[in-house]
Structure 1
Amino acid sequence: MAAAPFSSWFNIGNYKYMLYGPVVANAIWEWREGNSNSWSLHLIILFALRALTYQLWYSFSNMLFLTRRRRVVKQGVDFHQIDKEWHWDDFLILQALLASMLVRLAPPMAELPLLQLKGCAAALLLHVVFSEPVFYLANRCASRGRPSSSPAAVPTPMSAGAGTPLQQLMVSAVMGVPLAVAFAVGWGSSGLAYGHVLVFDFLRCMGYSNVEVLPAALFEALPPMRFLIYSPTYLSLHHTEKNCNFCLFMPLFDALGKTLHPKSWDLQKEISSGDDRIPDFVFLAHVVDIVSSIHAPFMFRSLSSKPFAANLLLVVVMWPIALLWMLLMWAFSKTFLLSFYYLRGRLHQTWVVPRYGFQYFLPFARKGINDQIELAILRADKLGVKVLSLAALNKNESLNGGGTLFVNKHPNLRVRVVHGNTLTAAVILNEIPRDAKEVFLTGATSKLGRAIALYLCRKNIRVLMLTLSTERFQKIQKEAPAECQHHLVQVTKYQAAQNCKTWIVGKWLTPREQSCAPPGTHFHQFVVPPTIGFRKDCTYGKLAAMRFPKDVQGLGYCEYTVERGVVHACHAGGVVHLLEGWRHHEVGAIDVERIDVVWEAAMKHGLAPV
């Protein structure tokens, strides 16, 4: 993680929040003494409101389905930047501790009026005549002769808080002096204390949001506004160009100091008009369960930038928010853009179907889900997307025949529809030990199960195929070469694999079913959601996945439970399809002959097994 005030000074990580303990303790003590309107309590509330302001702006700026056309810097935020800004909220604690010492000189909160207009006017005047010029001069001196040492390649609201301790002390001074003076002359109020700080934070977040929220028509209709309020585009030029745009919020001082970038407003007009770059590749994902929806990139990046893992605190505290989000998704019922990254200079996007895992198993929901997937495919085709890859449940055989439904219904599609299962099968098959003589396969008659069985039997490996349907087993067996058919064996009970240590799991296993495996068994998996490991004497593989090459850019989101820089194999399969320029659809049954072809193509392009 990157250096930040408290974590770098004391190396205490998240224990930094304990530094706020005395303020909390004082608030509790004053509450018990009958003072329920103490400064300490209001500092705690203000701390929470300020953190919420930054979080809401962050969520908005990363709602790509709303903001993608007006992004100033088109690149995505990567893991390096996220780690560098991990302790972005240190400055909130720093300022809260400074305020807790200064409020001892202020009148008790209970004696203050709700609002005094003359106090607000005085603070505003002091901001203009003191804070703005002081910040401008200090920033200009610090950035002389070079672009700003911006903490971020891509501005985010969290970037505003990721500066050095000295920078944050300067910001604290320019924010706090107008407020302190207003209180010192007796014009303070509780409304001023909250309003001044929150408006200051709001404007900083707006500038760092990387989304052009101010319409160009505003500045054209009211030209003086160009000198009174900055824009995200205006701030971005400060971080990319030399000796320009040093102001805090008011470009007036850049104009007076002759440091106003000449393209500031032309560029602002261009970006605010909207620019939607067409992706080459789309991965059509879905939400697995209610809690995992909190893992979306526009929620909490401390969660989305790490592999998803449910815990008691997340379930208890965040479940109501996740439920509300689910209801909103159902209400809008429209596929939306979740995240994006660049690979080999090509734009790759993840779209999400607003449906949850359990819905895919409700018979009455199937038509609605297929309609959503079809609309996404047609939209991608209209935009000019080259390849669209379907996530796990979006290509369910019983739902749409692994994508066959859409290709048959729309034979003139330009976009190539890919289920990616060929590479998924290749990943699983390359995990199996080279010396394996026998495997136990559940989900044996599924698309993946069939391909795995047919591939292994050609390698003279005995495959115990768990299925109750003799007809489906025999159909698969007949597809194998005559000399290999005897390697495929139908079994109907888990006990048949009590001596087999290689299990390939395509169907969720209960603890009782897992107990049939001998000690030392490894469970390879292609079941969604993955089987929970109950056996301590066995090992459990994760879902088939592949690691992207190092030249991927803007990737700052972990795909469900897989680690950073890794995507599920069906996602990677679509990427390989694009990079190879293949013009066929990959839908329906897996072509066993292409498993090695797809695997070798993935290796050629720098993808690697996990």
Structure 2
Amino acid sequence: MASKPGILTEWPWTWLGNFKYVVLAPWVVHSTYSYMTKDESERDLSYFLILPLLLSRMVHNQIWISFSRYRTAKGDNRIVDKSIEFEQVDRERNWDDQIILNGFFFYLGSRHIQAAHHLPWWRTDGVIWTFLFHAGPVEFIYYWFHRALHHHFLYSRYHSHHHSSIVTEPITSVIHPFAEHIGYYLIFSLPVLLTLWMGNTSILSIAIYLTYIDFMNNMGHCNFEHIPKRLFSLFPPLKYLIYTPS
């Protein structure tokens, strides 16, 4: 919890406890039923594949968590040479809330945005534009949003919750109050929304983009390094493509 919790700190489904996944149940049932019962020409594969995409994100994150805890237990080359506190583990148990929120937005968009219906598997131009939008406006807006979160007013009410974890784990990257995540989703959804508007998005461009963000977030919050420093000397542009825990 932040030092001075602000409005919309709690997630809307916190009161449901372990039953929070029922928030997505109506859409999961509807997308599966629609895909199974409609003719092949009417089936919306992109709508049906939202659930597998969400599950793949959970598996991806869990692999990083398990790998990180194994490396932390070994104690080799830790950046912060401390053990993980039980309090932090408990505080970060709700890391899957942001995936539920992601599913909520995807299902909502898939039903109410006409351009999101019947997406193709692949569009090369869509993939290129997705990463150009990310490298341009998204990174710029995110930088200043993050700077604002470190202002004492927002920091004490929201972002301090994230920085309560001194010995970071991969999943520390997504441990934020609900209101802060809304801000992140508004920013990081821009490449998807803009390519939908341009008419060149695809199922794989969205899946690759989300996987890339998850990969970088998880790797960047480990308590140990993965990439030898020498690689940055051999290939200097690498520092513009990835960031490291240090």
Q: TM-score interval w.r.t. the shorter chain? A: 0.7 to 0.9
Cα distance in 2 for residues equivalent to 1:46 and 1:155: 26
Which of 27, 41, 61 does residue 23 from structure 1 map onto?
Answer: 27
Which residue of structure 1 lines up, in the alignment, with residue 123 of structure 2? Answer: 116
One-letter amino acid of the structure 2 residue matched with residue 29 of structure 1: Y
Query: Which residues in structure 2 correspond to 1:218-367 (within 5 Å)?
Result: 218-233=231-246
Instruction: Quote how far apart the aligned CAs of 1:129 are.
Output: 1.1
Structure 1 residues 116 and 151: alpha-carbon distance in aligned structure 2, compared to 1, 3 A threshold: farther
Q: 1:56 — aligned with what?
A: 63
On the 8 A contact 2:64/2:170 being kept in 1, the answer is yes
Q: Deviations over 1:271-320 (max 9, x none)?
A: xxxxxxxxxxxxxxxxxxxxxxxxxxxxxxxxxxxxxxxxxxxxxxxxxx
Write the letter of the residue equivalent to 2:206. A
Match of 1:182 in 2: 195
Larger Cα-atom Rg? 1
- How far 1:4 moved relative to its partner? 4.9
The alignment's C-alpha RMSD in Å is 2.4
CA gap of 1:127–1:228, structure 2 versus 1, over 3 A, is same
Q: Do 2:216 and 2:242's aligned partners in 1 also have CA atoms closer than 8 Å?
A: no
CA positional deviation for 1:108: 2.9
Shift of 1:41: 2.1
Kindly indicate whether residue 154 of structure 2 is the aligned counterpart of residue 154 of structure 1. Answer: no
Q: How does 1:480-495 map to 2 (within 5 A)?
A: none
Name the residue aligned to 1:405. none
- Match of 1:168? 181
Distance 2:28 2:225 in 1: 38
Shift of 1:130: 1.0
Pairwise CA distance, 1:93: 0.4
Amino acid in structure 2 at the alignment position of 1:71:
R
* Cα distance in 2 for residues equivalent to 1:21 and 1:124: 31
Q: From 46, 50, 63, give the equivalent of 1:43.
A: 50
Question: How big is each residue's C-alpha offset from its partner over 1:470-509, in whole Å with a ceiling of 9 and x where there is no partner?
Answer: xxxxxxxxxxxxxxxxxxxxxxxxxxxxxxxxxxxxxxxx
Q: Give 1:14's aligned residue.
A: 18
Please, which runs of 5 or more residues in structure 1 have no aligned partner? 234-610
Out of 5, 14, 37, the position equivalent to 2:11 is 5
For residue 96 of structure 1, what is the aligned residue in structure 2? 103
User: 1:587 corresponds to which residue?
Assistant: none
CA distance in 1, matches of 2:166, 2:18: 25
CA shift digits 1:227-263 (9 cap, x unpaired)? 4321011xxxxxxxxxxxxxxxxxxxxxxxxxxxxxx
1:98 partner amino acid:
F
Structure 2 alignment gaps of length 5 or more:
3-8
By percentage of residues, which structure has more strand? 1
Count residues in correspondence.
229
CA distance in 2, matches of 1:214, 1:67: 18
TM-score normalised according to structure 2 size: 0.84
Pick from 202, 218, 225: which aligns with 1:205?
Answer: 218
Note if 1:80 corresponds to 2:93: no
Superposed displacement of residue 69, structure 1: 2.1
1:193 aligns with: 206
Larger RCO (CA under 8 A, 6+ residues apart): 2
Structure with the bigger percentage of helix: 2
Q: Following TM superposition, by how much is the alpha carbon of 1:161 offset from its aligned partner in structure 2, in angstroms?
A: 2.2
Q: Distance in 2 between matches of 1:164 and 1:103?
A: 26
> Tell me, what secondary structure is at the counterpart of 2:165?
coil
Counterpart secondary structure, 1:63: helix
CA contact (8 A) 1:58 1:158 kept: yes
